[in-house]
């Protein structure tokens, strides 16, 4: 799977994507992540990417013509409409969840646009497939939300994690949180591991785990 991230600040991704699961997925060839600098498609000598809003107001607005050029450059022309998806990180987008993550992980190419400044020219909606938010709050730009999207999607790609890991974790069933976990020491600060987990009765352990799952 390929993930392309359109951003004004590609350097922000160097740390998070150079470690742990994403790094291993890239090294094993399970995932490819590339960054498209929106400023490369800026207008004129100064590579302008934003402008004042019509009708007045605070802040600057990302230009639709600049973003459209970046999208056209990034798209893989040979892919069909069901294999490639373009999403915009936006405060007014649909709330992100595990179901969306699973759907995105099945794509061949995911394009994520990181908004910035006061917002994006509304006409960008003609050239994207969806708008997504990670919560009911506002952040400076779409870069950190895009990192979360990429991380949650990459870990669902087959062979990235060990078989069985993602099938039984929190939200693998809609709205269900995973059971509690324990490890050594058996007793810590006067608190013990539940006795049933120490008996080796796998049937009863499985029943206990199911009984301890929580609704989110």
Q: How far apart are CA 210 and CA 7, in angstroms?
A: 42
What does CATH list as the number for 176-215?
A: 1.10.1270.20
* Residues linked to residue 120 through DSSP beta bridges, in sequence order: 62
* Tokens 């409409």, located at residue: 81
* Domain coordinates in residue numbering, the chain: 2-154, 176-215
Contacts of residue 123, Cβ cutoff 8 Å, sequence gap at least 6: 64
* Length reported for the chain: 216
CA distance between the termini of the chain: 30
Both structure tokens of 87: 């999403």
Both structure tokens of 11: 């350097």
Give me the pLDDT at residue 81, please: 86
**Predicted confidence pLDDT, tens digits, the chain (216 residues):** 999 999 999 999 988 898 899 999 999 999 999 999 999 999 999 999 999 999 999 899 999 999 999 999 999 998 988 999 999 999 999 999 999 999 999 999 999 999 988 899 999 999 999 999 999 999 999 999 999 999 999 999 998 987 767 766 766 666 788 889 999 999 999 999 999 999 999 999 999 988 998 765
In CATH, 2-154 is 3.40.50.300: no
Cis peptide before 76 (omega within 30 of 0): no
Q: How far apart are CA 17 and CA 24, in angstroms?
A: 10
Beta strand ranges found along the chain (DSSP E): 2-7, 32-37, 50-51, 61-62, 84-95, 109-114, 119-120, 130-133, 176-177, 187-188, 191-192, 214-215
Q: pTM of the entire structure?
A: 0.88
Count H helices and E strands in the chain, helices first: 5, 12
Give me the pLDDT at residue 163, please: 73
Give me the pLDDT at residue 170, please: 65
Phi, psi (degrees; rounded to nearest 5) at 65? -65, -35
Give me the pLDDT at residue 166, please: 73
Q: How far apart are CA 134 and CA 143, in angstroms?
A: 12
Helix boundaries (H) for 127-201: 143-154
Give me the pLDDT at residue 177, please: 85
Q: How far apart are CA 153 and CA 162, in angstroms?
A: 15
């Amino acid at each position: 799977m390929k993930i392309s991230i359109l951003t004004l600040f590609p350097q922000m991704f160097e740390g998070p994507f150079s470690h742990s699961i994403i790094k291993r997925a890239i090294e094993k060839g399970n995932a490819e992540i590339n960054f498209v600098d929106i400023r490369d498609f800026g207008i004129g000598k100064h590579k302008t990417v934003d402008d004042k809003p019509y009708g007045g107001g605070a802040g600057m607005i990302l230009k639709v013509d600049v973003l459209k050029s970046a999208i056209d450059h990034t798209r893989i022309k040979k892919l069909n409409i069901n294999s490639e998806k373009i999403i915009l990180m936006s405060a007014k987008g649909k709330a992100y969840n595990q179901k969306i993550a699973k759907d995105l992980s099945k794509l061949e190419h995911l394009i994520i646009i990181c908004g910035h400044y006061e917002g994006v020219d509304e006409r960008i909606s003609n050239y994207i497939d969806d708008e997504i938010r990670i919560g009911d709050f506002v952040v400076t730009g779409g870069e950190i939300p895009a990192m979360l999207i990429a991380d949650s999607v990459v870990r669902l790609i087959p062979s990235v994690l060990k078989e069985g890991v993602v099938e039984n974790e929190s939200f693998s069933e809609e709205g269900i949180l995973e059971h509690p976990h324990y490890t050594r020491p058996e007793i810590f600060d006067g608190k013990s591991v539940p006795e049933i987990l120490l008996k080796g009765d796998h049937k009863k352990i499985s029943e206990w785990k199911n009984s301890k799952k929580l609704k989110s």
